[in-house]
Amino acid sequence: MFGYVASPNFPQGYPENVDQSWELRVPSGFAIHLTLVHLDIEMSEGCSFDALNVSTDDELLATLCGEKDYEALRVEVNPKLQSQFGSLTLSFRSDYSNPKRHIGFSAYYTAVVNCSGQIFTSLSGIVSSPILHGHYPENSACVYQLEVDDGFQLIIGFTGVFDIEGEDGNCIDQLRVQYHCTIFPFLFCGKSNLMSSVQRIFGGKKANEGNFPWQVFFMEPRGGGSLISDQWVLTAAHVAEAETLKMYAGRMNINGPEGVELHAAEKIIHPNYQIHSKPQYNYDNDIALIKLEEKVKLGPQISPICLPKNKQSDELQNGEIGLIAGWGVTEERKLAEDLMYAEIPVVNMDFCKSVKPKSSKIKPENFIFTENMFCAGMSGTDSCQGDSGGAFAVPDMNTDDYHIKGIISWGIGCGSYGVYTKVANYLGWIEDTMLQNQD
């Protein structure tokens, strides 16, 4: 739908004492775009002599006079001449004198589907395709943006009829739903079927399927990691630095058939992590991201854990309880075959500093402690060799969704206290890395 409108006698020149209006209307569901092609109206201060007014039902869009070429109209004027409400009014007036001949104006208008640029911020509502005579219009290109504040999730449900043209399974017409984010790559995360209270991995308990669906098993090197999306694994830098990575998601027993093998497309170790010879005393910035070659299929046994919301709100407090899981050394001093888990509290860093090594070759005074680390554990309950890279997972008090507050990093011995990488300190790096390396 389109049309043309021009001042009287265009282009010979408009007469004196003109007062004429044009009402442009299109069906419901459409907007009007007005495009001025010519504009030559007597110039006056405030357009008080001759003028073209363009307005909607309740808003004056422009008052125009003077002379502008097409390029100036295209850039400066025409973008303003749009109505989202299906109606537009043009009012042209001239006074009693026109000392110089001015040709007036000419314009064309088009009706476009009124469905883009809408932003929905209510906690609930209805969004639908435009309707014309019972059907959606041809050549529609609609964009709807739904936004909610931090802490809320968007859930979209289809009601009534869903009827979009398709032929042999090909979407000729299509509805595409995209999730745009900064840090959090998924609408759901941190879901666990671990309902009962956790008993007192070193001093731990055998996990069941679905307890830790984000857990990634590193067979080579022996360690752990966490899915934070369907294509990204978060782990410790000293795990990811290995030349060969053999990983599994959804696995419970290291020799079991369950789960899927994951293949690394690339690994990104934090740029400030320093690789040291053994024994290693500096584990600052012990964090890495691994991008998978293919997106893993998610379900109850395989799903991501949530990242912290922000550094301030996720500041860990002494006594805060978290869950750790892994296939590391157990209290029997052997590597676990089944996924084990334990519940441990955050404690003051002095507890980790006070642990005495069993080997005289280890010099505890050489270990580096920074603000990027925290200490957690208790006597008889700790992470150990083979658990590195796994999550220190803390449930949200309101939603019970688990967030990865820490990464199992290092410790002096096993069975008491261990040091964890503080994930909230690296949210910016995680976000930037994922955005820069997205498909």
Task: Say what the pLDDT of residue 197 is.
Answer: 40
Q: Which residues are tagged catalytic?
A: 238, 286, 388
**253, two tokens:** 């027993």
Phi, psi of 355 (to 5 degrees): -65, 135
Task: Say what the pLDDT of residue 60 is.
Answer: 93
Total structural domains within the chain: 2
Residue at 249 is within a domain: yes
Q: How far is CA 69 from CA 40, 72, 337, in A?
A: 9, 5, 78
* CA 234/CA 307 separation, integer angstroms: 10
**Which CATH number do you get for residue 28?**
2.60.120.290
Q: Which domain holds residue 260?
A: 205-436
Last residue of a domain, one of 113, 134, 167: 113
Task: Say what the pLDDT of residue 37 is.
Answer: 94
User: Are 109 and 227 in a shared domain?
Assistant: no
Parallel, antiparallel, or unpaired for β 373-377 and 60-64?
A: unpaired
Residue at 193 is within a domain: no
* CA 182/CA 411 separation, integer angstroms: 33
pLDDT averages per 10-residue partition of the chain, 439 residues:
90 94 83 92 94 91 94 91 84 90 93 70 79 65 76 74 71 75 58 58 74 92 92 95 91 88 95 82 94 92 90 78 83 74 91 77 81 86 69 88 94 79 95 88
* CA 172/CA 149 separation, integer angstroms: 34
Q: What share of the chain is helix, strand, coil (3-state, %, to 5)?
A: 10, 35, 55
**Which CATH number do you get for residue 294?**
2.40.10.10
* CA 35/CA 20 separation, integer angstroms: 19
User: Are 210 and 71 in a shared domain?
Assistant: no
Q: How many CB atoms lie under 10 A from the CB of residue 352?
A: 24
* CA 415/CA 330 separation, integer angstroms: 9
**366, two tokens:** 């050489």
Write down the pTM of the prediction: 0.58
- The beta strand positions in 114-214, using DSSP E, are 116-120, 143-146, 205-206
